[in-house]
Amino acid sequence: MPTPVSRTPEPAVDDQPSSAEIGRSDASRFAALLVVGIGVVYGDIGTSPLYAFRDAVAAASGGLGVTPRPDAVLGILSLILWALITLVSTKYVLILLRADNHGEGGILALMALVQRSASRRALPVLVLGAIGGALFYGDALITPAISVMSAVEGAKLAMPVSQREALIATIVILLVLFAVQGYGTHRVAGAFGPIMIIWFLVIGAAGIYQIAQAPQVLAAANPLHAVTFLTSDVTIGLMTLGAVFLAVTGAEALYADLGHIGRRPITLAWFFFVLPALVLSYFGQGAVVLSDASAIDNPFYRTVPENYLMPMVGLATVATIIASQATITGAYSLTRQAIQLRLLPRMVVRHTSVEHAGQIYLPAVNWLMMAGVLTIVVVFQDSTHLAAAYGIAVTGTMIVTATLACMMMAWHWKWPAWRIALVMAPFLAIELVFLAANLLKVAEGGWVTLLIGAVMLTIMLVWWKGSDILLAKTRRSELPLVDLMPSLERSSVTVVPGTGVYLTANADNTPTALLHTMKHFKVMHERIVVLTVINSNWPYLELGESVSIERLSDRLIRVRVVTGFMQQPNIPSVMDYCRTHGVPGESASTSFMLSRREVKAERPSAMPRPATALFVMLAHNAADATDYFGIPKDRVVEIGTQVGL
C-alpha cells in the first residue's frame, strides 16, 4: 500500500488575498524600491552639483578668481543639461537598462553576457571588461575624496575655516566611513533613501528660488548656446568639457544597480524626480552667477540663504557620505564578480546581513581603498585640483560600456550593423570628445586615474593569464579520474569510515590531494566525493539547477557545482543538498580535503619575469580556500603541493 503524501491544505477562498490587497502590496513594494533606489543609485550623480558647474566655469574663465562671461555661463549650463539628457537619460536609462544579464547590470555583468555569445572572440571581450573594471576602481577611489571634500569646503563660507582644517575634517569623516564598513550598512541603509529625497528636494527648491531672481538663465535650455560656446574657442571649449562631464559621473551606477532595484523604479525616479532636481540646481547656480559674478567661488552654497548655510553644509556632508558608501559597496560587488570571473585572486568575503545576500564586506578591498582615498586627499588638498583626475575614469568606463553594448547588440540581440550604428554611434562620438577633453588634464591630475587603472588592469590580466597557465600544467600532471576507478577497487590501502570531499578545479582529473593521501598515507575514505566549482557567466543559479551528481562507482561520486558570478560558493550547503539527493554520509563524518598550492617562479617562465613575480605575490596573498568556500575549519585537511610557473 503506497505511503500517503502529506499536503498543505489550500486556503479557503475567503482566506485568499483579494486583488486589491495584492495591488496594494505590490504598490508598497514598488514605492519602497523607489525610495531605496534614490538613496543607493543616485548618490554619486546627485552630489555632482557641489563641484561640476563651479569647475566648468573656472575652466572656461581661466580660474575661480576670474569674472565669468554671461554667454559662457549659459553655454556651460546648456552643455550640462544636454549631457544629462543624451548620456544619462537616453543611453543609460532608455537603452542600457534593457541590456541586462538575467536582471543584473554593470560592466562585468555585460561582459559576461557578451562572452556567452562571443565564441572565439571571448579574449577581446575579457580585455575590454578588465579595462572597464580597472577604470571603475579609479572612479571608486576619487568619488569619496572629491564628494566629501566639496561638502566640507562649504563651511568656509559661513565661518573662518582654513583649508587645512577642512582637509582634516575630510580625513576624519573618511576614516570613520571606512572603519564602520565591517559592521554592515544594512542598519543605516534604510535612511539613505529618505535623506537623499530631502537632498534633492532642497537643492531643487534652492534652484527654483534663484531662477525666479534671474529668469534669463532659462535661455540655456536652447542647445544653440552649447554649440556657440564650443565653436567660439575650441581649446577653451575642450578644457571646459572635461569639467562639464563631472555632471554625469555616477551614470554607471544606474546600470550597475539594475539587479538590486529594477529598471522601472530607476527609470521613474530619474525622469520624475532626480533629473528635474539636478537641472533646477544647476540652473539655480547659473542664476546666482549671472546676478553676482563673485558667487563663482562656490555657486552651489550661494544658492542657499546665508541663515541656512550651515544646515546645508551638514546635509551635503551626509549626502556625500551616502554617495561614497554606494561607491564603496559597488567596489565590493565588482570585486566579487571579478573573483568569480577569474580576474582577481580569492579574497575573504563576509556577509553582513542575513536578509540581503548583496550586503557583503571585503576587508582587503576596504583597507586598500581607504589608503588610496586618503592618499588622494592629502596629495590634491582641495576638490578643485581633484576634479582634473575624475573625468578620465568615468569617460573611459562609459566608452568601454558602450563598446560592449555594441557587441551585445550584434551577437546577442542579433541587430544589423546599421541599426547598432544608428543607436550607439552618437553616444560613442560624444564620449570620445569628452575623453579627449579630459586627456588635456593628464598633467593636472588625470595621471592618477590612468595610474590606478593601469595597475588594476595589469593585476587582472596577469592573474587571468597565470591562472590559465597553472590550470593547464595541473591538467597535464594529474591522473584522469576514469583511470583511478579500477585502482580504487584493487587498492590495498586502508579504508577509513566517513566521506572525503576532495575539491579540484578539473572534474575530469583526480585531485592532487587524493593522490597524495593514497600515495603517502596509504589510506582512503569509505566514500570519496570529487567536487568541482565552475564559475559561469550567469548572475545567479539555484542549487537545483546548478548541482550535478554523478555516481562513478560504489565508492566514488563526482559533483559539479556551477555558481553565478554574483554568488558566493558555499560548499557545506552544496553537500547538504547532495545528501538529500542520494549521496550517503553524515555531515559530522565528512572531511574536506584541500590541496594548498604554493606557486614558485621557475626559469624559464611561461610569462615575463615581472608578471611571474606579480602572480606569485598575488597567489601567496590570496584568501584561504577554507574561508572563501565557507568550510568549517575543524573539518578541513590541507595537503601542500608546489607548482612552478
pLDDT digits (tens, 9 = 90+) for 48-59: 998 889 888 888
In eight-state DSSP terms, residue 104 is B
Q: Which of 100-104, 183-187, 397-401 has the highest mean pLDDT?
A: 397-401
Helix extents (H) in 440-550: 447-477, 481-490, 512-516, 543-546
Burial class (CB in 10 A: 0-12, 13-18, 19+), 242: buried
Rounded CA-CA distance 297/232 in Å is 25
Decide which of 453 and 159 is more confident: 453
pLDDT classification of 578: cutoffs 50, 70, 90: confident
SS3 68: coil
Please determine, for residue 11, whether its predicted confidence score (pLDDT) is greater than 60: no
Rounded CA-CA distance 405/393 in Å is 18
pLDDT for residue 412: 87
Q: Which domains occur in the chain, in start order?
A: 31-465 (1.20.1740.10), 478-644 (no CATH)
pLDDT for residue 579: 85
**Bond into 604 cis (ω within 30):** yes
Overall average pLDDT of the 592-618 stretch: 82
pLDDT for residue 368: 93
Please give the helix or strand (H or E) that residue 14 lies within, else none: none
CB atoms within 10 A of CB 183: 11
Structure pTM?
0.80
High-pLDDT (> 90) share of the chain, %: 22
Rounded CA-CA distance 53/27 in Å is 37
Q: Which residues contact 150 (CB under 8 A, 6 or more apart)?
A: 47, 50, 51, 316, 320, 383
Rounded CA-CA distance 103/259 in Å is 5
High-pLDDT (> 70) share of the chain, %: 90
pLDDT for residue 2: 34
Rounded CA-CA distance 203/6 in Å is 60
Residue of 351, 326, 354, 368 lying closest to 568 (CA atoms): 351
Residue of 192, 196, 200, 571 lying closest to 359 (CA atoms): 192
Rounded CA-CA distance 582/166 in Å is 64
Q: Cα-flanking dihedrals φ and ψ of residue 296, to 5°?
A: -65, -15
Q: Cα-flanking dihedrals φ and ψ of residue 216, to 5°?
A: -60, -15
pLDDT for residue 1: 34
User: Chain-wide mean pLDDT for the chain?
Assistant: 82
Question: Using one digit for the tens of pLDDT, what is the confidence trace for 301-341?
Answer: 999 988 888 899 899 988 988 888 888 888 888 888 888 88
Please determine, for residue 24, whether its predicted confidence score (pLDDT) is greater than 70: no
pLDDT classification of 172: cutoffs 50, 70, 90: very high
**Structural contact between residues 502 and 530, judged by C-beta atoms closer than 8 angstroms:** yes
Overall average pLDDT of the 563-573 stretch: 81
pLDDT for residue 12: 40
